Amino acid sequence: MIIVLIGVLLAIFLLPNLWAKWVLKRHARPRDDYPGTGAELAEHLLRRLGIDGVKVELTDQGDHYDPDARRVRLSREHYAGRSLTAVTVAAHEVGHAIQHHHGYAPLLARSRLVAVAQQAEKLGALLMMAAPFLFILTRLPGGMLIVLLAAVISFGTAALVHLVTLPVEFDASFQRALPLLKEYLPPGDMPGARHVLTACAFTYVAASLASLLNLGRWLVILRR
């Protein structure tokens, strides 16, 4: 029974990320019939839409849009790649730039939450490690419970941010990027583009589940 439960939990936590990676890899084959790379499409779209001041950069920190620096950052395979995955991921990140350009409120809220969550997660890790020592030093009734509750809340903010992020990601994919891609991609490539865009969003589902798994791991350690 325990083995089955462990297997189910592993499937819940790992499958979204594995599926997303499989989809991105499946459509990463170079396409000689595409006129440009992911970076070139991103730059073209920004110019065409009149989004001034946003630059496209190469990064090793994963594909993302930085609203503070106003940068569309693409990994090497998507920046220089000429594949369905490369151009679709590039369009997705431009979708975030479009959101920012139009003052899309959920994106702005997410940016604020991310900064809070990063600090909260660090605080949560510190509290988790310090909880037994604080309890010994203070010996206050309920002291351990208070510290653990604070740590759980801190770690939980990371999962919350990822969940709040999902509507932002789906909007960037299906309301911003997909209509643009329909103008550039052959009709036969559109189902694949939809799969890639869905995979881009589901990476955040995997990240949210990973945050919950991390919280559970710390709780198990503290119970020992």
What DSSP string runs through 50-91? Answer: T-TT-EEEE-SS-SEEETTTTEEEE-HHHHS--BHHHHHHHH
Contact 151, 124 (CB under 8 A): yes
Contact 69, 97 (CB under 8 A): no
- DSSP annotation of 188 reads G
Q: Which of 40, 43, 93, 169 is catalytic?
A: 93
Active site residue 93: yes
Render the burial of 22-34: b for 16+ CB within 10 Å, e for the rest.
ebbeebbeebeeb
Residues recognised as catalytic: 93
